[in-house]
Amino acid sequence: MSGLSLSDRCRRNIESESEYESSESTADDWLRASDGNVPRNALVAGQNLNGECFYVGRVMLRGNVLPGKVLPSARVCFVSLDQIEFSSNVYEVLVKAPSVNYQWVRMGGCVMPRNAIPAGRSATGELIYIGRHVHKGEMTPGKVIPSQRCIYIPYLGKEIRYRDFEILIQGEYPYFERTKGKSKEKEQPVLDPATASASSRDLSLAPSPPSATSTFDVPPGRESHCQNEQGIPYKMERIFQVALLR
Q: Is residue 235 situated within a structural domain?
A: no
Q: Is residue 230 situated within a structural domain?
A: no
Q: Is residue 234 situated within a structural domain?
A: no
Confidence of residue 179 (pLDDT cuts 50, 70, 90): very low
DSSP string, 71-118: EGGGTEEEEEETTEEEEESEEEEEE--TT--EEEEEE-SS---TTB-E
Name the average pLDDT for the chain: 71
Q: How far apart are CA 143 and CA 87, in angstroms?
A: 14
Q: Is residue 108 situated within a structural domain?
A: yes
Q: Is residue 34 situated within a structural domain?
A: yes
Angle at 40 between CA 96 and CA 69, to 5 degrees: 70
What residues make up the domain containing 139?
6-194
- The answer to pTM > 0.75 is no
Query: What kind and span of H or E run contains 45?
Result: strand 44-47
169: Cα within 13 Å, side-chain hemisphere:
19
User: What is the average per-residue pLDDT within 38-52?
Assistant: 95
Q: Is residue 207 situated within a structural domain?
A: no
Confidence of residue 105 (pLDDT cuts 50, 70, 90): very high
- Say whether pLDDT at 41 is over 60: yes
Query: Which phi and psi angles does 11 have, rounded to 5°?
Result: -75, -20
Q: For residue range 192-216, what is the model confidence (pLDDT) as tens digits?
A: 333 333 333 334 343 323 222 222 2
Q: Is residue 36 situated within a structural domain?
A: yes
Q: Is residue 49 situated within a structural domain?
A: yes
Domain count, the chain: 1
